[in-house]
């Protein structure tokens, strides 16, 4: 794998149990790159994310994520891979009995951070990154949906990941809250962390991404610069919109 590639798949087949979901997938995501993954329901987006996170094994082909070989990874190595790969889901998954600050400190203490000053410094830095400093003492139920999702994004950033994955993280939120989250995502992009966005709004490809990966019928139908997608008008045709 190239040193600048955070993700590299080559001729990879992805299975859910015995069912072939994605066939002969090849793609690359570079350090600091902003990539958009899109496809209709059932095209394999979730299966691809689960493979990158070693939740599903890579049974055929080659695959590396943040230096870990997906075909050879041992169970004891998986937690270390996941520290390099922050995944944000649609359903927030916050600790309801802890405030914003403690939701973030929990992540560090669970990954063996010991120094209280280092923990405090990292929490403060991430709170600023996701524009949540003023909400540090708020409980999750006191936050709006957009704020809860920004806290989820902050939690994924705590361990200095090489890549953050947003799996339909804005689904079901009001348009104003979606815009707030995208402003926060822009801050992440400026920090140099590679970002993989799974979303249904293909129009955002044209405005935000360095690369678009489109899944269709178990294959990568398109992978390349989003500017090319705009020029060719390929994406809407592939998605049937």
| More confident position, 218 or 53 | 53
Instruction: Give percent above pLDDT 70 in the chain.
Output: 81
Angle (nearest 5°) at CA 95 between 92 and 101: 100
Cα dihedral value 27, 59, 156, 92, nearest 10: 110
Q: How many domains does the chain have?
A: 1
pLDDT at 177: 67
Q: Scan for tokens 């992440």, then name that residue.
A: 188
Q: What is the residue range of 191's domain?
A: 5-239
Residue 82 pLDDT more than 90? no
CATH of the domain at 125: 3.40.50.300
pLDDT at 71: 93
Residue 218 pLDDT more than 60? yes
Residue 121 pLDDT more than 90? yes
In which band, very low, low, confident or very high, does the pLDDT at 54 lie, cut at 50, 70 and 90? very high
Residue 175 pLDDT more than 80? no
Residue 60 pLDDT more than 60? yes
CA distances to 101, 154, 180, 189 from 108, rounded to whole Å, are 11, 12, 26, 22
Average pLDDT, the chain: 83
pLDDT at 127: 92
Residue 235 pLDDT more than 80? no
pLDDT at 63: 95
pLDDT at 68: 94
Q: What's the predicted TM-score (pTM) here?
A: 0.82
Average pLDDT over residues 194-212: 75
Is residue 99 exposed (0-12), middle (13-18) or buried (19+ Cβ within 10 Å)?
Answer: middle
CA distances to 177, 212, 237 from 203, rounded to whole Å, are 17, 11, 13
């Amino acid at each position: 794998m190239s040193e600048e590639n955070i993700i590299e798949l080559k001729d990879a087949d992805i299975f859910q149990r015995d069912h072939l979901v994605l066939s002969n997938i090849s793609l690359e995501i570079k350090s600091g790159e902003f990539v958009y993954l899109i496809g209709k329901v059932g095209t394999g987006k979730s299966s691809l994310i689960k493979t990158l996170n070693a939740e599903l094994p890579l049974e055929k082909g080659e695959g590396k994520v943040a230096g870990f070989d997906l075909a050879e990874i041992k169970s004891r190595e998986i937690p270390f891979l996941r520290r390099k790969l922050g995944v944000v889901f649609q359903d927030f998954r916050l600790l309801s009995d802890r405030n914003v600050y403690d939701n973030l400190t929990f992540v560090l203490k669970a990954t063996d951070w010991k120094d209280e000053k280092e923990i405090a410094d990292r929490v403060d830095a991430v709170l600023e990154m996701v524009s949540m400093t003023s909400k540090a003492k708020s409980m999750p139920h006191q936050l709006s949906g957009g704020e809860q999702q920004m806290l989820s994004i902050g939690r994924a950033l705590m361990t200095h990941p090489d890549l953050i994955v947003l799996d339909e993280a804005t689904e079901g939120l009001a348009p104003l809250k979606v815009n707030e989250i995208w402003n926060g995502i822009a801050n992440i992009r400026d920090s140099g962390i590679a970002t993989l966005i799974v979303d249904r709004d293909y129009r955002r490809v044209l405005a935000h991404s360095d690369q678009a990966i489109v899944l269709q019928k178990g294959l990568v139908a398109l992978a390349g610069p989003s500017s090319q997608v705009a020029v060719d008008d390929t994406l809407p045709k592939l998605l049937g919109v």
